[in-house]
Structure 1
Amino acid sequence: MTGRTVDQPPTWWYWETEEPMVEPVALMSSGTDGSVKIQSYDLQYSTNQTGHRTEQYENKELVLRRGQQFKVDITLNRDYNGEKHKLSAELKWGATPKISDGTLAILSPIAGPISATFDDWGTHVVNATGPNVSVALYVKSDSLVGRFRLVLMVTDENGLKQKMNVKDEIFVLFNPWSKDDDVYLPEDDQKQEYVLNDQGMYFYGSGKNVYGARWYLGQFEEYVLRCIFELLQTKRAKPRSFGSPVEISRVLSALINSNDDNGVLVGNWSGDYSGGTEPTAWTGSAAIFKQYTLTKKPVKFAQCWVFANVLTTALRSLGIPARSICNTASAHDTDGNCIMDYHFDSNGKPMDWLDSDSVWNFHCWTDAWMARPDLPPGYGGWQAVDATPQERSEGVFQLGPAPLAAVKAGHVQLLFDTKFVFAEVNACKVNWKFSGVENEPPVPIHIDTDSVGVLTVTKAVGKMEKEIISDQYKPPEGSTEELLAIYTVEKYINSVKKLVVETKKDVEIVGTLPDDIMIGNDFELVLLVRNTSSEDRNCVLSIAGTSVYYTGVRAKEVIYELKDVAVKPLGESEYRLKLLASDYLRDLVDQANIRFDVTVVVKETNQTIIKGYDFKLKKPNIKITVPSTVHKGSTFYAKAEFTNPLPYKLQKCFFSTEGSALAGYKREMFRIIKANETVEYEVKLVAKQKTGERDIIMSFSSTELIGVTGEADIIIQ
């Protein structure tokens, strides 16, 4: 097994209290003696953030959503006179605010009653008693999002204007509760899930076998929102982009990876994680954003589920509804023809060096919810956005937003990267065979039209379980709707799922692998070779077993066998391949996947049949024991237990602990664990200041075994 972390955790791995932030100095311009002046103000943090549904944010700044008003209480130096005095405001964004690019907003006084559908900038006096005035400030629904400086102004009866610069910045977010916002989401339970829920899940697996793990999204942690705005402002986003969820989500898909902009995460699929943390050890986004903020360096290392969850965190933090999704048997189409090409030699052995396309066991990305005013009507709703650096789009490693409606209909010509996403869920696989004769080109021997995009899932609304959303990405296999989508794609790409007409084969393979085999145990692959003809069939059976990364890339050959198999007319022959733990353990990589490529060549007819079987070994779970309830802010202990399933010791061991219940993140070294030993680990934790049912997520890693996780629920009172 490969995979490595740093030997000693850096000092920033554990925090419980935040460092005090330096507040900007309040400024007040002088007015003419005797004029009306603002003496003080109150931003009404609690009332405003409750009304804007931002009370969970841990930032010291006021966090608001665009498209609705917020209240400010102002005290003047003398009694307010509504007929003589005017209260107004300005919101300034960036270093050189201008009205022309939306970085300067003038909130002029609004006279008379305000309708329920009012959507503009403005200032309205709600009530006044003597020198105390309550003012409603209206933020337009297409405002830029980001960090604003608020300036309050009062003008007296003589036209003399006095300004006060509010010392604290104000954060403005997208607003899925506002019907005028491009991210408006009608259903309340979906807003609760896709915007406000910080307890997430991601999924992984192969084919129809999908497993889930918890992930602490942490979109309300102080470091997250500040980090995202700093990323956007210091990288590639122009001011006007900050008003568009389409542009912001696309830019974030590039900024979450470090390939082009020195962004948040470094991708690594090599199996060697020296100098960083292996991707399977991460259990949440908050620790990643914290490390990136404090070190100012990209965080090592990530794979697709880490990229997807961190992007989901970033989008939810900004107010864009988002969900992390998993697509099993996910195609990576390098040449844009929506066909996955695989090559085999005359004995049926894979020729990996010729395969540039790949089908990942699974791939995770993010869906973001938004309108698409840049496209014709009908393409709003969920959009695929992917931060995993796979292929360049417009010269940058970014993807999306690609409308799911366009992907499903085969409208691959539409922005952004719709063709790539279509291939991920609906490409076909073509197996090519070389005859062994020099200079003779390969011939297609098998076309598989339904083995890509087997299952697409996300976390269910309000539940810690999966929801199948395959029908949102593509029509059912073989349906009229699918044929229409493919014919539509044919207008833009040649030879989609229509490469050759296959000849009828009278020999078939059926393979069976066991479920739930723990790593370190033996198992069998059972193959049935069936003859559906009325004649004898003499076959050459080839079995190539290789350890594979979840991306479908083969790592090491585990076993290769070549056998002669005779099958009677209308009969079948069984072949059993037994793998001992000693046969495969040293060759496994990260997620303990083994790929079996089985080929049958019929001597009488030269028919070639190729089947592939993906097998995943189980890893042990961590059993976590915690108190049923704890008080907010209190210290408590969690006990973890798990058994080493391997027949050799585990070295350089770490336990990592994170979750929505915890103030901070811990990563601690642990002793060497003996072969098949059961160990206990106790960790001291601090409960968050938030009440309710929360979770604790723990992971274990070592040189020999990684990707071991567990979780527990706890009630904070």
Structure 2
Amino acid sequence: MSSQSSQTSISETSNISIESAKGENEIIIPYLVTKRLGENFKMMTNVPGALMAENYESQNMNQQIPSITKVDLNFQLNGFYHKSNMYEVMKRNKNPQLVIRRGQPFRVTVTLNRPIGLDERIKLLIYAKDLDSASVEDNTHFTITPKKTQTAHLDKGKWVAVWDFISQDEKTLYILVMSSHDSAIGKWNMEIWLDNGIQSSTPWKMEDPIFLIFNAWNKNDEAFVPDPKSRFEYIIKDVGVIFRGIHNSITKVFWKYSQYEEQVLEFAVDLVQNIGKLPLAECGSLALVMKKIAESIIHPPGIVEEMKAENYSTDMTIWTGTNTLLHRFSVLKTPIKYVHHHVISALIVSCLRTLGVGCRNVTCYNWAINPIEPIYTVDLLYTSNEMSDVFARKMNSIACYFVYTEVWARGICANKEVTGWYGLTPDQGPFPMRLIKKISMEKEIQNKSFYGNFNSDCIIWKFFRHNLPIKLVTVDVKSIGSLVATKAENSWRLSNITSYYKKQKVQTTEEKIKEVVLFTREEPLFQRFYVNNENYDLSFDLSVNQTFKINETIRVTFGVNNVSNIANYSVEIRVIVASVLCTGQFVDCVKDDRKFIYLEPKSSRHHTFMVPTTEYIPKLSNECIFKVMMQAYVKENTYDYYECVFIRAILPELMVSIEPFAKVNCKTIVELSFTNSTLETIEEAVLSLAELDSLNVKIFRKFKIMPQSSVQVQFAMVPRQIGTYHMAAKLLTDHWNVVNYVRIPVKPHNPGNALL
């Protein structure tokens, strides 16, 4: 068989169309042998389908059954047509492993020590994981004989094989093997032998298993993604952007998913089958696989531990990719402490992309934590007493932002017709996000809390003492879900997708208060409460510079306006500035000040609180986020007012400059420069430069940076491959960290003799 003929046939293999047959659970594989191959090849359609007729039975009875001398899994061809040749296990020189997508045929070439006889048949034993775990009942254990008909019916969950063609000397057999579009993903093993009905040859056993993954190119697969550009963005691409910060001051981090690395593929399968212990019979369900991956990452025994309030001092930028994190886990053999929720979401995306599933990271700003159903609210308590009382209570709250995962899938929920993005966290989902704005308050829908995360209202309560009823001050119907953002397709920019998830409010604040009053709460604290008085004369305003440079003073301005023609009012104003985590949890009080104002008829008053750098820099949280709260109490009518807003300090920028036109195998200089624009001396600064998800980190050790002074450090690197290098430059200090990400395009050393 010539290599040209082999190449021609496999190209036909790649164009196989998989269509529904007569039965709902059947598909047809078109037979590939055509007359164009010529009469020099033995047409398998001329071979009887069952045991041979009598005149053939004794043809080779006195001859020993042929033995298998070689089995070729055609890594290059199968990898090309299954779009899996990027996986590290496919490119290894020693003991490579085949990665294939389900519902698509792959070629197996079997070489014998003599020509195959008419009464001799090839048989294949295919089983998932290992023989002890696989079973025929679970559709994870099959013994199949290649079909000799022009079409082969493939039942749901089954495998099938058909003859492609046979070489001229009848010693080399080309077989196409195919799983169904719903076969269990994971590791599969194969054994091949010959049988003539009386004796069998010694079986060939696969040394290393095949990896079977989802197929986003197969329209019958639950993971099918119709758009080629979307498949590249959400499956093939191994670098992404995750957005953080606050909704009007956004920062971003780059993440390398490393889905083609050996340990990431092994890890993804291990999460499903070993750590998650998902039964093999259920490993074909995309919904169950994605849920098990999300749960197994943090739930015991787990891979990582999520940051809590007491350990948020951990550097949140320490991890830039999946491979290095898994390498650390493989060394320690214990869960990594502690990681941020954007790292957990990135790990989920890495595992799912490794398994051939389209997915992305999405950030929701002002995310409601644990909303109360069915009224979809979160509680915020404050008190006019000591600052600690405001945050001491473990109540439902609002996070500055939360990063979750969205997975593209078809028909994996109760409504089989729903195709699109499904929301997923370790504790929620999968939930069809296209239905998030269609949820009825009266109808019970599984995992509807995703609706509450985006569309809940915040109830503001004022707490006095344990023996007194609490006061329902107001309901904020706007803040939660203020922005939903993700990386734009085929771009590094932000894509605002808020309108798809944020429901237009039909209730007024007054109507929502009535709903809250009528709803029976189980917590004793809310059994006795009363509603805030009406206020018609006074209006309040809170103004703050929501983004400011770290060397600037925070200015908080409040205003009170009295529109009454006759009434005088005495107002107590309290302004609190506190450093908080991205979860909204209190870290430390920066400023707590009060002001008493007397308002005459038709008058207004404004006052500005100042928070200098010397007060807030020592109390910075790891993301430099502050919460500004304004409390007002009107003595004459006991009216209470509350408003809060998140603000963020902008850190000095770490500049990166690169020698123009970096070339492969040539020295390239990367210069990092930093100016300390603050008024304080940075005692111990550490500069580092590393490729995303790389264990090779270049570090410039500790040094001191005086106020208003600059430092420049040069790093040398030698790119070994043509392409784009994604680098992370960091400056670490005692109080805060500065990170800058840069993409370095690397060109060939001699453009005339190399292709870009």
The TM-score range, normalised by the shorter chain, is 0.7 to 0.9
Task: Check 1:219–1:637 CA distance in 2 against 1; reply closer, same or farther (3 A cut).
Answer: farther
- Alignment partner for residue 730 of structure 2, among 695, 699, 706? 699
- Alignment partner for residue 126 of structure 2, among 85, 91, 101? 91
Task: Check 1:53–1:530 CA distance in 2 against 1; reply closer, same or farther (3 A cut).
Answer: farther
Q: What are the residue-to-residue correspondences of 1:379-390 with 2, within 5 Å?
A: 379-387=418-426
Q: What are the residue-to-residue correspondences of 1:625-664 with 2, within 5 Å?
A: 625-630=657-662, 636-646=668-678, 647-651=680-684, 653=686, 655=688, 657-659=690-692, 664=695
Task: Check 1:400–1:675 CA distance in 2 against 1; reply closer, same or farther (3 A cut).
Answer: farther
1:242 aligns with 2:283: yes
Q: Deviations over 1:175-217 (max 9, x none)?
A: 1111111111111111111111111000112234433222222
1:70 aligns with 2:101: no
1:269 aligns with 2:308: yes
| Runs (5+) with no aligned partner, structure 2 | 1-60, 524-529, 749-756
- Decide whether the 8 Å contact of 1:696 with 1:714 is kept in 2: no
**Which of 199-208 and 449-458 deviates more?**
199-208
Task: Check 1:528–1:623 CA distance in 2 against 1; reply closer, same or farther (3 A cut).
Answer: same
Q: What are the residue-to-residue correspondences of 1:334-413 with 2, within 5 Å?
A: 336=373, 338-346=376-384, 351-387=390-426, 398-410=427-439
SS of residue in 1 equivalent to 2:556:
strand
**Which of 707-716 and 37-46 deviates more?**
707-716
1:100 aligns with 2:129: no
SS of residue in 2 equivalent to 1:584:
helix
SS of residue in 1 equivalent to 2:704:
coil
SS of residue in 1 equivalent to 2:151:
coil
- Equivalent in the alignment of 1:394: none
Q: Deviations over 1:122-176 (max 9, x none)?
A: 1122122121222211121111111122222333476635421122321111111
Q: Deviations over 1:65-118 (max 9, x none)?
A: 11101112221112245x544334232222312122233233431222237999
SS of residue in 1 equivalent to 2:452:
helix
Q: Give the Cα separation in 1 of the matches to 2:501 and 2:532.
A: 27
**Aligned-residue CA RMSD in angstroms?**
3.4
> Relative contact order (C-alpha < 8 Å, sep 6+): which is higher?
1
Q: What are the residue-to-residue correspondences of 1:426-465 with 2, within 5 Å?
A: 426-434=455-463, 439-465=467-493
Q: Give the Cα separation in 1 of the matches to 2:188 and 2:747.
A: 34
For the pair shown, the structure with the greater C-alpha radius of gyration is 2
With the length of structure 2 as denominator, give the TM-score of the two structures.
0.80
Q: What are the residue-to-residue correspondences of 1:700-715 with 2, within 5 Å?
A: 700-715=731-746
- Equivalent in the alignment of 1:560: 592
**Which of 145-154 and 115-124 deviates more?**
115-124
Deviation at 1:447? 0.5
Q: Give the Cα separation in 1 of the matches to 2:738 and 2:520.
A: 42
Deviation at 1:278? 2.0
Deviation at 1:545? 1.0
With the length of structure 1 as denominator, give the TM-score of the two structures.
0.84
Q: Which amino acid counterpart does residue 473 of structure 1 have in structure 2? A: Y
Q: Which amino acid counterpart does residue 688 of structure 2 have in structure 1? A: F
Task: Check 1:334–1:58 CA distance in 2 against 1; reply closer, same or farther (3 A cut).
Answer: same
- How much identity, in percent, do the aligned residues show? 19
- Decide whether the 8 Å contact of 1:400 with 1:415 is kept in 2: no
**Which of 707-716 and 406-415 deviates more?**
406-415
- Decide whether the 8 Å contact of 1:329 with 1:454 is kept in 2: yes
Q: Give the Cα separation in 2 of the matches to 1:491 and 1:455.
A: 29
Q: Which amino acid counterpart does residue 397 of structure 2 have in structure 1? A: S
Q: Give the Cα separation in 1 of the matches to 2:162 and 2:645.
A: 67
SS of residue in 2 equivalent to 1:351:
helix
- Decide whether the 8 Å contact of 1:522 with 1:581 is kept in 2: yes
1:290 aligns with 2:327: yes
- Decide whether the 8 Å contact of 1:246 with 1:372 is kept in 2: no
SS of residue in 2 equivalent to 1:517:
strand
1:133 aligns with 2:173: yes
Q: Deviations over 1:564-606 (max 9, x none)?
A: 2234545432211121100111111111111111012223322
SS of residue in 1 equivalent to 2:650:
coil
- Decide whether the 8 Å contact of 1:279 with 1:303 is kept in 2: yes
Q: Give the Cα separation in 2 of the matches to 1:118 and 1:491.
A: 52
- Equivalent in the alignment of 2:527: none
Deviation at 1:620? 2.8
Q: Give the Cα separation in 2 of the matches to 1:492 and 1:36.
A: 79
Q: Which amino acid counterpart does residue 654 of structure 2 have in structure 1? A: I
Q: Give the Cα separation in 2 of the matches to 1:270 and 1:701.
A: 21
Task: Check 1:642–1:285 CA distance in 2 against 1; reply closer, same or farther (3 A cut).
Answer: farther
Q: Give the Cα separation in 1 of the matches to 2:675 and 2:746.
A: 27
Q: Which amino acid counterpart does residue 284 of structure 2 have in structure 1? A: G
Q: Which amino acid counterpart does residue 70 of structure 2 have in structure 1? A: S
- Equivalent in the alignment of 1:596: 628
- Decide whether the 8 Å contact of 1:36 with 1:76 is kept in 2: yes
- Decide whether the 8 Å contact of 1:519 with 1:618 is kept in 2: yes
Q: Give the Cα separation in 1 of the matches to 2:86 and 2:419.
A: 28
Task: Check 1:632–1:225 CA distance in 2 against 1; reply closer, same or farther (3 A cut).
Answer: farther
Q: Give the Cα separation in 1 of the matches to 2:135 and 2:102.
A: 19
- Alignment partner for residue 198 of structure 1, among 226, 238, 241? 238
- Decide whether the 8 Å contact of 1:432 with 1:444 is kept in 2: yes
Task: Check 1:410–1:374 CA distance in 2 against 1; reply closer, same or farther (3 A cut).
Answer: closer
**Which of 368-377 and 286-295 deviates more?**
368-377
Task: Check 1:443–1:515 CA distance in 2 against 1; reply closer, same or farther (3 A cut).
Answer: closer
Q: Give the Cα separation in 1 of the matches to 2:87 and 2:575.
A: 55
SS of residue in 1 equivalent to 2:317:
helix
Task: Check 1:183–1:668 CA distance in 2 against 1; reply closer, same or farther (3 A cut).
Answer: same
Q: Give the Cα separation in 1 of the matches to 2:717 and 2:399.
A: 37
Task: Check 1:675–1:423 CA distance in 2 against 1; reply closer, same or farther (3 A cut).
Answer: farther
Deviation at 1:374? 4.9
- Decide whether the 8 Å contact of 1:527 with 1:576 is kept in 2: yes
Q: What are the residue-to-residue correspondences of 1:407-422 with 2, within 5 Å?
A: 407-410=436-439, 417-419=447-449, 421-422=450-451
- Decide whether the 8 Å contact of 2:705 with 2:711 is kept in 1: no
Deviation at 1:42? 1.6
Q: Give the Cα separation in 2 of the matches to 1:157 and 1:628.
A: 70
**Which of 645-654 and 463-472 deviates more?**
645-654
- Equivalent in the alignment of 2:72: 42
